[in-house]
């Protein structure tokens, strides 16, 4: 089977290459915004939207026009990829998978992509990559890049440039190993496994919160868009980057360990967006305990539950395992001994004591055990459903239904 995988490295460009990359990212941003403006005007005028081929013809006009001759300095393929990104954004919008496309802003998610592997050269022996109109760029070679190069994306984050190299390679069909485990997510305990293991939270944002607040206060005192303001802004961005990098590193290590040791992982289908919604309310109906809810929201978002589940999904798929998402309803109120469901079973946040049979354990461990049982029940239902409807079952297994 074929596996697509991306490897991201920090670039070490010289001054000329950095200026060129900023120009290329700006050109891609300009093309995206121009095409989006054209599409909006056509939509407001009642005309159909232009397809990718028609947008490419417009791009040729812009490159040859007297108003934007600088577009010729940028490579053609990354500009075309910006149009493909817009086409994909429109498709997701009409399919109700995303909001309406928005104009790109300078300094936010600056990137450009080279889709043609024939134009890319990767020299792993010397830690460098060749890209059109940029030449050879050195990167921080921290691991081997296996497989054939498919495309390369160059991006900027917190003042540093990165290269993401996507490759494709043939791997043997995965054979799952290990048993099944249920995972209860929390704040005091980041994750509690049904086998008794517990992962302590990293609290990446909380560790840097004071430093970030001081940097933001210093930035607010600078004249906006001045030289000192840009320096202060760069300092804030570096702190945010450090917070995100530490969180991702922690999540990758945790998910890799879990996926290496288990063939089935059952998790709660948490709606993080709803759980972290603001409690402020409005003037007619003001909220209650707004400060406490704000602190809870901050703690929830600091954990990275969605990213944790996303990493579990693709890493288990690579190893032949499955991720099962179950409803979180009553998972912490159900007794694993007698099955009695009551809010009184959990007198405190950490203690579970069944009022019917007296069964007592840590509340997070009880939740993990119930999540595992719910995962087994859902798998059994999927198998029986597929047996009753062979055609429907085949279609569901092909869509990897359990991963949703």
Residue 41 lies in a domain: yes
Measured between alpha carbons, how far is 322 from 271 in angstroms, rounded to an integer?
Answer: 20
CA-CA-CA-CA torsion for 218, 222, 225, 230, nearest 10 degrees? -40
Q: Decide if 397 is inside a domain.
A: no
Q: Which domain holds residue 307?
A: 179-202+248-279+290-385
| Predicted TM-score of the model (pTM) | 0.86
Residue 268 is a catalytic residue: yes
Catalytic option among 209, 364, 382, 403: 364
Given 87, 184, 210, 307, the catalytic residue: 184
- 209 occurs within a structural domain: no
SS3 assignment for 199-264: ECCCCHHHHHHHHHHHHHHHHHCCCCCCHHHHHHHHHHHHHHHHHHHHHHHHHHHHHHHHHHHEEE
Mean pLDDT over 383-398 rounds to 57
Domain count, the chain: 2
Least confident of 41-55, 112-126, 376-390: 376-390
My answer on whether 136 and 257 are in the same domain is: no
Q: Is 240 part of a structural domain of the chain?
A: no
**Coil, helix or strand for 134?**
coil
Write out pLDDT tens, residues 343-375.
Answer: 888 888 889 999 888 889 999 999 999 999 999
pLDDT at 282 over 80: no
Is 364 an active-site residue? yes
Determine the average pLDDT of the residues in 26-51: 93
Contact between residue 259 and residue 321 where contact means Cβ atoms under 8 Å apart: yes
Compute the CA torsion angle 167, 173, 179, 183 (nearest 10 deg). 30
Residue 261 sits in the same domain as residue 330? yes
> Does 239 fall in a domain?
no
192 in the same domain as 98: no
Q: Which one of 170, 194, 214 terminates a domain?
A: 170
Q: Are residues 154 and 187 in the same domain?
A: no
User: In which band, very low, low, confident or very high, does the pLDDT at 219 lie, cut at 50, 70 and 90?
Assistant: very high
**Could you tell me the CATH number of the domain that includes residue 340?**
3.30.420
Which string of b and e fits 374-392 if b means at least 16 CB within 10 Å? bbbebbeebeeebeeeeee
Tell me the average pLDDT across 196-209: 94
Which pLDDT tens digit goes with each residue over 42-70?
988 888 889 999 999 999 999 999 999 99
Q: Do 113 and 49 belong to one domain?
A: yes
- Establish if 243 belongs to a structural domain: no
pLDDT-derived band of residue 391, with 50, 70 and 90 as boundaries?
low
117, 57: one domain: yes
From the list 87, 110, 268, 302, the catalytic residue is: 268
pLDDT at residue 399 greater than cutoff 70: no
């Amino acid at each position: 089977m074929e596996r697509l995988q991306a490897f991201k490295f920090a670039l070490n460009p010289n001054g000329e290459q950095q200026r060129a990359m900023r120009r290329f990212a700006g050109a891609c941003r300009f093309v995206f915004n121009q095409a989006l403006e054209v599409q909006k005007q056509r939509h407001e005028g009642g005309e159909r939207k232009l397809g990718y081929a028609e947008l490419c013809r417009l791009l040729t006009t812009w490159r040859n026009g007297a108003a934007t001759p600088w577009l010729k300095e940028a490579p053609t393929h990354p500009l075309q990829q910006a149009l493909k990104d817009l086409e994909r954004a429109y498709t997701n919008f009409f399919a109700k998978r995303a909001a309406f496309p928005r104009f790109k802003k300078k300094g936010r998610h600056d990137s450009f992509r080279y889709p043609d592997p024939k134009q890319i050269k990767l020299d792993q022996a010397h830690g460098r990559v060749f890209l059109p109109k940029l030449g050879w760029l050195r990167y921080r070679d921290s691991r081997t890049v296996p497989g054939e190069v498919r495309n390369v994306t160059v991006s900027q984050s917190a003042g540093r440039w990165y290269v993401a190299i996507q490759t494709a390679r043939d791997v043997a069909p995965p054979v799952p190993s290990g048993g099944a485990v249920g995972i209860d997510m929390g704040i005091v305990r980041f994750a509690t496994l049904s086998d008794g293991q517990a992962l302590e939270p990293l609290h990446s944002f909380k560790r840097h919160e004071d430093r970030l607040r001081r940097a933001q206060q210093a930035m607010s005192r600078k004249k906006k868009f001045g030289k000192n303001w840009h320096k202060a802004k760069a300092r804030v961005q570096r702190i945010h980057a450090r917070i995100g990098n530490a969180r991702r590193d922690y999540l990758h290590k945790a998910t890799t360990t879990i996926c290496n040791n288990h063939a089935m992982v059952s998790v709660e289908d948490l709606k993080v967006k709803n759980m972290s919604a603001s409690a402020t309310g409005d003037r007619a109906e003001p909220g209650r305990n707004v400060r406490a809810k704000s602190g809870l929201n901050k703690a929830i978002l600091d954990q990275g539950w969605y990213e944790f589940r996303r990493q579990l999904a693709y890493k288990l798929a690579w190893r032949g395992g499955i991720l099962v998402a179950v409803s979180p309803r009553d998972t912490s109120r159900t007794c694993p001994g007698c099955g009695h469901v009551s809010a009184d079973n959990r007198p405190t946040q950490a203690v579970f004591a069944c009022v019917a049979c007296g069964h007592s354990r840590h509340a997070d461990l009880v939740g993990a055990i119930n999540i595992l049982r719910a995962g087994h029940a859902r798998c059994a239902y999927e198998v029986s459903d597929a047996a009753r409807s062979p055609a429907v079952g085949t279609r569901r297994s092909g869509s990897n239904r359990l991963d949703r």
